Structure 1
């Protein structure tokens, strides 16, 4: 099965798209250049078959193969407990933001199991590993910026356990989405002198770039740069 899917990926690879993707993922090797719609189509086809052997396969050669494994976990017809166990095995394979963010966006079962999944992601939120920390942040911004969870999300996003660039960037992204939905609470966090200055500036930049934030609110946030 792995070899058949690999051949399909090789046939779908585009050199110009490979070059484009490589620029977005510096340091990530073995990129074929397969577009996301094609990957999603293949992942859905795998999920309709005996998908477990593919998800559990090790030694994948290409970026897109790892991406597919994560996508299949999201699409697979399995109970939440199994998906979390599969996720636990998959997360150590994440070594770039592309796989991380795609994987998180596919775990839509989280919406029906928020408490269970929240508990699952906490060890990753406390991890100093760059992509484990990013995984937790991206899960939070996708599924937990709600009345029930906002205070816990803000606490986690303001103090990411990893100092890695991609972990910090994800925490800043999370804070920017929090600001769109809960501006007063998020402003207080950004105003706090205890927040890391790099994280604060990254979050401010993301807020200013957002089309969902009004100009008066952007101007208010800009003033935080002068603190």
Structure 2
């Protein structure tokens, strides 16, 4: 099975040498990048997943020294295989130590009703307390993707206050979440950002992301600009 998958990936990467070189810089991975494009990885995962058991995916994840593309495919298999929630979470626990890029997280996480269940909420909170940078990012992006709604937003903000990891990719994820939350919960998010427990870098990056977004009204952009200017003066 492993050899067949590697062969399929190699075939999909043919002629993509320039893309592979470009993508390696963008995703900032230490792994080899063979150049399979994300839509092709998703299609391959959907093709393979119906015949994949949890044991099959676990076995694939145990193979070391594989490419960035291979590891990401393993993540996508977890998403698309017919697995109950707890089995998928157990496999995600096995997947996360293998990743070394924001793309391994952001491409892996999908917005689906099944990922908005209580077991996934508990798992995201567990990940927020990890010492591994990309595991914490997983927790943040999971909350942003599947729990940033009316019934959870206060709990999401409360959970984020307990993060102690100060890695770059954690703080970027936090800024992304706050900028996303502000679209629907504008005043609540600005109050959260100004509450004093968020570090200045993350707060400023969140305001920057809001300023770059077209999802806010001109009046809201004026308010954001004032907060960002205050950050600059400080």
The TM-score bracket by the shorter chain reads over 0.9
Q: 2:146 aligns with which of 119, 143, 147?
A: 143
Shift of residue 90, structure 1, vs aligned partner = 1.4
Task: Between 201-210 and 156-165, report the one with greater CA deviation.
Answer: 156-165
Structure 2 equivalent of residue 68 of structure 1: 73
Structure 2 equivalent of residue 214 of structure 1: 217
**2:48 aligned with 1:46, yes or no?**
yes
Shift of residue 51, structure 1, vs aligned partner = 4.1
Q: Is the alpha carbon distance of 1:224 and 1:160 closer, same or farther for their aligned partners in structure 2, counting shifts above 3 Å?
A: farther
* Residues 111, 146 of structure 2: 8 Å contact kept: no
Structure 1 equivalent of residue 87 of structure 2: 82
* Residues 54, 87 of structure 2: 8 Å contact kept: no
Shift of residue 53, structure 1, vs aligned partner = 4.4
Q: In the aligned structure 2, how far is the partner of 1:90 from the partner of 1:21?
A: 21
Stretches of structure 1 lacking an aligned partner (at least 5 in a row): none
* Residues 2, 54 of structure 1: 8 Å contact kept: no
Task: Count residues in correspondence.
Answer: 225
TM-score by length of 2: 0.90
Shift of residue 199, structure 1, vs aligned partner = 0.5
Q: In the aligned structure 1, how far is the partner of 2:140 from the partner of 2:41?
A: 24
Matching of residues 31-180 of structure 1 within 5 Å: 31-56=33-58, 57=60, 58-60=62-64, 61-105=66-110, 109-111=114-116, 113=117, 115-158=118-161, 160-180=163-183
* Residues 20, 35 of structure 2: 8 Å contact kept: yes
TM-score by length of 1: 0.92
Q: In the aligned structure 2, how far is the partner of 1:158 from the partner of 1:183?
A: 18
Stretches of structure 2 lacking an aligned partner (at least 5 in a row): none
